C-alpha cells in the first residue's frame, strides 16, 4: 500500500478515537459509501470530475450522508478524500483502517481448521483460549479438513499452532527418523 493511503487511514482512525465513535459503525458507513460510489457511474463521474465545483460535490456528499446515516466525521473524511482526489484509493484506505481499528480494539483474526465440525460450546471455549494467546478478542474463521484425523490447527497472524493428530504423527515420524 502507498504511504499516503496509510496516512489517510491512520488519520481517520485518530478522528474516530478522538470523537469516541463506534469504530465498527464508522467502518460500515465508509463501506456503504464505497459501495454506493462503486455502484453508481454517475456519482463517480461527478465526484472525480475536477470541473465540478467543490460546493456541489459537498452537497452531493451531504445528501448521501443523510441517506445512509453517516457520522459527520465520516462525511468530512470522505469530503477530504474527494477534495484531495483520492477516491480511487478509498477501498485501500478502508482496508487499512479496518486493520488499524482491529489492532486498536485488540481484535485478531484466526483461521481454525478442524477435522470435524465443532459445536457452539467448543467454538466458544477454543476462541477463549486463542484469545488468551492473541491478547484480546478473536474473530475466527472455521475450516474443515478431514485429513487432520483429529485436533486443531490455528493460524493466528503469521503463527501456526498445529495440535492436530496428523501434525503430531509427523513430528513423531521425524523424531524416529532422527533417532
3-state secondary structure 10-75: HHHHHHHHHCCCCHHHHHHHHHHHHHHHHHCHHHHHHHHCCCCCHHHHHHHHHHHHHHHCCCHHHH
Average predicted confidence (pLDDT) for the chain: 90
- Asked whether residue 141 falls in the same domain as residue 165, the answer is yes
Contacting residues for 83 by C-beta, under 8 A, at least 6 apart: 54, 57
Domain boundary (103, 119, 150) is at 103
Across residues 142-148, what is the average pLDDT? 89
CATH of the domain at 11: 1.10.520
For residues 178 and 172, give the distance between their C-alpha atoms in angstroms, rounded to a whole number. Answer: 10
pLDDT at res. 112: 92
- Asked whether residue 35 falls in the same domain as residue 84, the answer is yes
- Asked whether residue 31 falls in the same domain as residue 18, the answer is yes
- Asked whether residue 47 falls in the same domain as residue 128, the answer is no
- Asked whether residue 40 falls in the same domain as residue 83, the answer is yes
- Asked whether residue 160 falls in the same domain as residue 89, the answer is no
The dihedral built from the CA positions of residue 138, 144, 149 and 150, taken in this order, carries a sign that is positive
For the cut 60, the answer to whether the pLDDT of residue 118 exceeds it is yes
pLDDT at res. 71: 95
Domain boundary (86, 103, 120) is at 103
- Asked whether residue 25 falls in the same domain as residue 91, the answer is yes
Across residues 35-63, what is the average pLDDT? 92
Across residues 43-47, what is the average pLDDT? 92
104 vs 57: which has the higher pLDDT: 57
pLDDT tens per residue across span 77-109: 999 999 999 999 999 999 999 988 888 888 888
- Asked whether residue 51 falls in the same domain as residue 121, the answer is no
For the cut 90, the answer to whether the pLDDT of residue 158 exceeds it is no
- Cell numbers describing residue 18: 478522538
- Asked whether residue 127 falls in the same domain as residue 157, the answer is yes
Q: Residue 178: helix, strand or coil by DSSP?
A: helix
Across residues 110-139, what is the average pLDDT? 89
The count of domains in the chain is 2
- Domain extent for 111: 107-178
pLDDT at res. 74: 95
pLDDT at res. 1: 53
Which DSSP state fits 85? T
Domain boundary (69, 103, 137) is at 103
Amino acid at each position: 500500500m502507498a504511504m499516503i493511503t496509510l496516512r489517510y487511514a491512520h488519520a481517520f482512525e485518530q478522528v474516530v478515537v478522538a470523537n469516541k465513535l463506534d469504530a465498527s459503525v464508522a467502518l460500515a458507513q465508509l463501506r456503504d459509501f464505497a459501495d454506493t460510489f462503486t455502484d453508481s457511474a454517475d456519482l463517480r463521474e461527478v465526484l472525480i470530475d475536477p470541473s465540478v465545483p467543490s460546493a456541489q460535490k459537498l452537497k452531493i456528499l451531504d445528501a448521501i450522508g443523510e441517506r445512509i446515516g453517516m457520522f459527520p466525521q465520516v462525511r468530512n473524511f470522505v469530503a477530504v478524500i474527494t477534495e484531495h482526489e483520492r477516491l480511487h484509493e478509498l477501498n485501500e484506505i478502508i482496508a487499512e483502517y479496518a486493520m488499524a481499528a482491529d489492532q486498536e480494539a485488540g481484535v485478531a483474526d484466526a483461521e481454525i481448521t478442524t477435522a470435524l465440525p465443532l459445536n457452539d460450546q467448543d467454538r466458544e471455549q477454543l476462541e477463549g483460549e486463542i484469545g488468551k494467546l492473541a491478547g484480546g478478542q478473536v474473530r475466527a474463521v472455521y475450516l474443515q479438513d478431514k485429513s487432520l484425523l483429529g485436533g486443531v490447527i490455528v493460524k493466528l497472524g503469521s503463527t501456526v499452532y498445529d495440535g492436530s493428530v496428523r501434525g503430531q504423527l509427523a513430528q513423531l515420524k521425524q523424531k524416529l527418523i532422527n533417532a
